[in-house]
Amino acid sequence: MSWMFLRDLLTGVNKYSTGIGRIWLAVVFIFRLLVYMVAAEHVWKDEQKEFECNVKQPGCENVCFDHFFPISQVRLWALQLIMVSMPSLLVVLHVAYCEGREKRHRKRQYVSPGMMDGDLWYTYLISLIVKTGFEIGFLVLFYKLYDGFSVPYLMKCDLKPCPNTVDCFISKPTEKTIFILLLVIISCLCIVLNFIELSFLVLKCLIKCCVQKYSKSFQSSACEPQPQIC
Amino acid sequence: MDWGTLHTFIGGVNKHSTSIGKVWITVIFIFRVMILVVAAQEVWGDEQEDFVCNTLQPGCKNVCYDHFFPVSHIRLWALQLIFVSTPALLVAMHVAYYRHEAARKFRRGEKRNEFKDLEDIKKQKVRIEGSLWWTYTSSIFFRIIFEASFMYVFYFLYNGYHLPWVLKCGIDPCPNLVDCFISRPTEKTVFTIFMISASVICMLLNVAELCYLLLKLCFRRSKRTQTQRNHPNHALKESKQNEMNELISDSGQNAITGFPS
């Protein structure tokens, strides 16, 4: 089990996405998953080994590291990626369920993979809303956990068993800050794409409803019997 | 998820690229991605572990390393490769959109003489003309911009492309000006120069491709104006015949409905 599993799952979602949904998938694959795998993971590789406090007291470094990094930024990044990709699976599950029903009733539901109507439209909309919720939620969590998006080079720690307020130095703070800022920018871009897709879907549905209503009222007035002129 | 996935994404664009574009993709994946993965990552693997400062002061090494290497070389190269490969996706998206529209028209019964079936639409190579020409040219332009920007950032961050064997560091908490020693500076310099040379070659290929596309466009336009100039009588005769046909059909319609012509 690795990131390839997630990639294969999400590739299946591509068929049932809108154009903007496909752009979102490309952004997630290239600017988040690929960057995480080839670069970000290595930056945080030795984070605890290279975390150094100006004290010889055993246990002080461990306690301070645990206090400043309850969960490592890179692990939070990975969790965010998984949670944000999961709602797209709702769409895949829905389509699989419909295809199963098609086989049982021997009736074709969808003319082409790209068409979205009826229940699938609602599922897609819900997955978009949940995705956006997760994105915003994780960004807020990041901000709250680490007091912002930058990593300082020095932190003061006075937790037991440290004998007094000691200086603790974090490894590669500038590089970590750069990658966290990149993560935040790409997350914001994904949120914007989700909002645009949401608006596009809702507008398209409203226009379709208005056109249907208008054509129905036009047809009903055309079918009314003409008054006879005696 | 690794470089292989990026190769799959970009490889799909290969079919619709010019010959220079195909050479560019080969150079990117063989001389840059492969070198990065099989060699450069090993050389820079232990860079912080073996970065040694002549002091026992805790934290001095961390602070000095962070000051001299705000971003590691290999991470910067990885980001450069990702950003430089991404504009090719614009072309892939445009081709996908063109195929989607062609499939939609085919289902409506419009392009039946152009394509045999839906599979034919997917397999056919799309020519670099019209709006695709603009998308392709823009992608090459962005590639050049990204390459040049990353090379400049590299030069700016590391004061050139050469790594010294000793660096002087006096940042707090270092007690005084201490000597800090980088691990494998010569090997790192060799790889840095190799990667920079590969970037320069890629940039030159992009510039050559851009010039080729512009020349092709100018040549096509001059050929079109020349054809129009060589056969102006033919064009004039055609337009007059069309006018006469319209008049005949209008008078015929008027005769049928009974109105005076």
HSE of B127 in the Cβ direction (CA atoms, 13 Å)?
4
Segment A94-122 shows an average pLDDT of 68
| A178 neighbors A40 (Cβ within 8 angstroms) | no
Angle, helices B88-108 vs B3-14, to 10°: value is: 60
Beta-carbon pairs below 8 A across chains A and B: 100
Segment B240-249 shows an average pLDDT of 54
Say yes or no for a CB contact (<8 Å) between A52 and B65: no
pTM for this model (two decimals): 0.78
pLDDT, residue A129, reads 93
Confidence of residue A97 (pLDDT cuts 50, 70, 90): confident
State how far the Cα of B99 lies from the Cα of A177, in Å rounded to an integer.
Answer: 42
Average pLDDT, chain B: 80
pLDDT, residue B42, reads 80
Does residue B118 belong to any structural domain of this protein? yes
Give A3's contacts in chain B (Cβ within 8 Å). Answer: 1
Structure tokens at A121: 């439209």
Q: CATH code at B156?
A: 1.20.1440.80
pLDDT, residue B123, reads 67
pLDDT, residue B89, reads 82
Does residue B209 belong to any structural domain of this protein? yes
pLDDT, residue B231, reads 63
Say yes or no for a CB contact (<8 Å) between A50 and B89: no
**Chain B residue whose CA is closest to A153:** B63
pLDDT, residue B143, reads 93
| B107 neighbors B56 (Cβ within 8 angstroms) | no
Angle, helices B131-158 vs B73-85, to 10°: value is: 170
Res A62 pLDDT > 80? yes
3-state SS class at B221: helix
Give the best residue of A5, A37, A38 to mutate against chain B (max B CB count within 10 A). Answer: A38
Give B63's contacts in chain A (Cβ within 8 Å). Answer: 153-154, 169
Chain centre distance of CA A63: 32
**Least CB-CB distance to A171: which of B62, B82, B107?**
B62
Does the CB of B228 have a partner CB in chain A at under 8 Å? Answer: no
**Structural domain count, chain B:** 1
State how far the Cα of B258 lies from the Cα of B261, in Å rounded to an integer.
Answer: 9
Give the best residue of A17, A31, A34 to mutate against chain B (max B CB count within 10 A). Answer: A34
Does residue B75 belong to any structural domain of this protein? yes
pLDDT, residue A173, reads 93
- ipTM score assigned to the predicted complex: 0.73
pLDDT, residue A29, reads 85
Res B49 pLDDT > 70? yes
Res A67 pLDDT > 60? yes
Does residue B203 belong to any structural domain of this protein? yes
How many CB atoms are closer than 10 A to CB A54?
16
Average pLDDT, chain A: 83
Segment B106-122 shows an average pLDDT of 67
Q: Looking only at Cα atoms, what is the longest distance across chain B?
A: 111
Say yes or no for a CB contact (<8 Å) between A43 and B6: no
Identity of the amino acid at A35: V
Does residue B255 belong to any structural domain of this protein? no
The pLDDT tens digits for A110-169 are 544 455 567 788 888 999 999 999 999 999 999 999 989 999 999 999 988 899 999 999
Q: Which residue(s) pair with A53 in the sheet?
A: A168
- In terms of residue numbers, what domain contains B179? 16-223
Give A33's contacts in chain B (Cβ within 8 Å). Answer: 1
Res A183 pLDDT > 70? yes
How many CB atoms are closer than 10 A to CB A178?
19
State how far the Cα of A184 lies from the Cα of A108, in Å rounded to an integer.
Answer: 43
Does residue B247 belong to any structural domain of this protein? no
**Chain A residue whose CA is closest to B10:** A30
State how far the Cα of B151 lies from the Cα of B192, in Å rounded to an integer.
Answer: 11
pLDDT, residue B201, reads 94
pLDDT, residue B261, reads 35
Does residue B233 belong to any structural domain of this protein? no
Does residue B144 belong to any structural domain of this protein? yes
